Amino acid sequence: MRDTLIINGRLSAEVLEQNLAAEIAAAQAKPFLAVVLVGHNDASEVYVRNKRNRCLKAGIACEIFRLDENVAESELLSLIDDLNANPVVNGIIVQLPLPLEFDVQKILARVSPAKDVDGFHPLNAGLLASGFGGGFVPATPLGVMRLLKENNVELCGKHAVVIGASVIVGRPLAALLLNQGCSVSVVHDKTVDIETITAEADILVAACGCPKLVKKDWIKEGAVVIDVGINRDGGKLCGDVDFEALCGKASVLTPVPGGVGPMTIAMLLENTWAAYKQQHNL
């Protein structure tokens, strides 16, 4: 059995946020994040509360704009227009998922690209996918890349396999890994024989929302395994990876909770600070 390095994402996020708080305080700045929350979703309520608390701790103002689930699309678009036009607001996120009736792409495309700290606007997504860079990058993939870097995981020339092709994680993460010199395979729910592909991965990222999907025989000896999943198994939180089974076979592994999750918020705060600086020519 090999030793598996278990990454402590909580600690990394704490250090990042402390540094960010110090930088914001030194600049005597007051960045502002607007969070748009439509309808009621228990998981979104928890995420949004955590985002707000961590913003406030870092010296970032955060206001949650709540809209009823039956709100007209025009009213939601008009709120986004107001936030876009308000010079006090530096970053805007529309918490996902939206209730099913909404045209998600239309709504995400309405956020000003300069305030799109989620990186979901097609302009920012295109800058990333094309390799041009310079736009905002979604927080969860950024958090994954930061953990890989902090733990000195070599990327150039490696085979990375991403499970899941979502706009929030899988697609932008595949682009980031490709931009760092990985050969990238993206597998998803239509992929035939997923486990033969994952077994070839030097770096495996699971972001599909399937509790404990990745089993011991899905990975090769010494693979780096990053678990983005946040699922409930009974009452208990678990990831997309069978954590206990992979300990002793993976070289590096992230836990759930306490791995990628805390890094997502840290990266959102960094994006909000970056938006503030861009808007103030700092």
Respond yes or no: is residue 95 known to be catalytic.
Answer: yes
Query: Shortest gap between Cβ of 116 and ligand GUN (angstroms)?
Result: 10
Respond yes or no: is residue 105 known to be catalytic.
Answer: no
Of residues 145 through 174, those in contact with ligand GUN by CB under 6 A are: 168
By CB under 6 A, tell whether 271 contacts ligand GUN: no
φ and ψ at residue 37, rounded to 5 degrees: -125, 120
* CB nearer ligand GUN, residue 201 or residue 238: 238
Provide the token pair at 248: 């002793």
Annotated active-site residue in 115, 116, 118, 202: 118
Of residues 75 through 104, those in contact with ligand GUN by CB under 6 A are: 93-96
Query: Shortest gap between Cβ of 263 and ligand GUN (angstroms)?
Result: 11
Separation between Cα atoms, residue 271 and residue 256, nearest integer Å:
24
* CB nearer ligand GUN, residue 8 or residue 41: 41
Annotated active-site residue in 51, 115, 212, 249: 51
Separation between Cα atoms, residue 152 and residue 144, nearest integer Å:
13
Kindly tell me which residue out of 140, 166, 271, 272 binds ligand GUN, with binding defined by CB under 6 A.
140
* CB nearer ligand GUN, residue 35 or residue 182: 35
Respond yes or no: is residue 51 known to be catalytic.
Answer: yes
Query: Shortest gap between Cβ of 76 and ligand GUN (angstroms)?
Result: 14
* CB nearer ligand GUN, residue 80 or residue 139: 139
Angle of CA points 221, 222, 228, to nearest 5°: 105
Query: Shortest gap between Cβ of 156 and ligand GUN (angstroms)?
Result: 27
Annotated active-site residue in 42, 68, 82, 95: 95
What HEC string does 105-165 produce? HHHHCCCCHHHCCCCCCHHHHHHHHHCCCCCCCCHHHHHHHHHHHHCCCCCCCCEEEEECC
Kindly tell me which residue out of 13, 139, 176, 241 binds ligand GUN, with binding defined by CB under 6 A.
139
* CB nearer ligand GUN, residue 177 or residue 263: 263
Query: Contact at 8 Å (CB) between 219 and 238?
Result: no
* CB nearer ligand GUN, residue 38 or residue 201: 38
Kindly tell me which residue out of 17, 118, 227, 270 binds ligand GUN, with binding defined by CB under 6 A.
118
Query: Shortest gap between Cβ of 150 and ligand GUN (angstroms)?
Result: 20
Query: Shortest gap between Cβ of 118 and ligand GUN (angstroms)?
Result: 5
Binding interface with ligand GUN (CB under 6 A):
93-96, 118, 139-140, 168
Q: Which residues carry out catalysis?
A: 51, 95, 118
